[in-house]
């Protein structure tokens, strides 16, 4: 059986490390690769895959595109408006989103209590998934700080469709205050300006979805505040993918250890 992570860029992805570690730990003779697929190329790639292909991990810029190539989608993928997982079944490919439950698991693992008020930096597909995770944990107020309000439209629609219906405000990434129990950064490290880092200093907990380069400016300034990392998210969402692809329980500890070793660090 074969699986792969698809995206552009994709050479930096830790997904092959995590999934291969899971195969080794469970004795599966499966193959997992990284394939560069540009925006607009997912449908053609998927159509050409042979019967040996079982699962695909989908990263940027293909997460919203993945819904269009699937015969069916899970409720969470439909809610998020994006899929990071494609699983081949007897009826074709089905789309799922393990980013949302993966973020829920990562937040529960690292934070002393669920956040009630949070600020999310960015408005793309990952922002939508983390916002929905916060909804699942009971957050009642979310602020999205973005460069362009139009970029957050799909994320706002996803939050509005969640049964929790938290209060939501959209503000400027460049100027607005960062408030709440938690700040979630879904923006690249190079976009974390000194001014933005300073505005985040008063928030008591940080979730930065980036895992490389490390530490990001926000993480470097976090001090001893509770911290949820991109590796935490990656490991939990990959473990859920592994189970969807194989039908087996994921060896979470082995996957985490492989990711830490690949990045040359530990918690």
Residues that are catalytic? 63
Exposure string for 89-117, b = 16+ CB within 10 A, e = fewer: eeeebbbbbbbbbbbbbbbeebbeebbeb
Find all residues with CB under 8 Å of 216, minimum gap 6, and list them.
185, 189, 192, 208, 210
Which residue from 73, 86, 77 is spatially nearest to 6, judged by alpha carbons? 86
Whether the Cβ atoms of residue 45 and residue 93 lie closer than 8 Å to each other: no
Whether cis (ω within 30° of 0) applies to the bond prior to 61 is yes
């Amino acid at each position: 059986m074969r699986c792969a992570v698809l995206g552009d860029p994709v050479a930096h992805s830790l997904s092959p490390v995590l999934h291969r570690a899971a195969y080794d730990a469970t004795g599966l003779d499966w193959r997992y690769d990284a394939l560069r697929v540009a925006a607009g190329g997912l449908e053609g790639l998927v159509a050409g895959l042979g019967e040996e292909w079982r699962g695909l991990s989908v990263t940027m810029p293909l997460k919203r595109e993945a819904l269009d190539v699937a015969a069916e989608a899970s409720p969470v993928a439909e809610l998020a408006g994006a899929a990071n997982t494609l699983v081949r079944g007897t009826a074709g490919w089905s789309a799922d989103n393990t980013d949302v439950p993966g973020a829920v698991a990562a937040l529960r693992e690292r934070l002393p209590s669920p956040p009630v008020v949070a600020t999310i930096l960015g408005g793309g597909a990952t922002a939508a998934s983390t916002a929905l995770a916060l909804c699942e944990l009971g957050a009642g107020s979310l602020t999205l700080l973005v460069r362009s309000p139009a970029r957050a439209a799909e994320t706002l629609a996803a939050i509005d469709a969640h049964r929790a219906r938290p209060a939501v405000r959209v503000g400027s990434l460049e100027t607005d205050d960062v408030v709440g129990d938690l700040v979630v950064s879904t923006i690249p490290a190079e976009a974390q300006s000194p001014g933005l880092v300073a505005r985040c200093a008063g928030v008591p907990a940080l979730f930065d979805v980036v895992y490389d380069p490390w530490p990001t400016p926000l993480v470097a300034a976090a001090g001893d505040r509770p911290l949820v990392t991109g590796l935490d998210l990656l490991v939990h969402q990959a473990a859920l993918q592994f189970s969807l692809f194989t039908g087996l329980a994921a060896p979470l500890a082995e996957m985490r250890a492989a990711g830490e070793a690949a990045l040359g660090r530990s918690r």
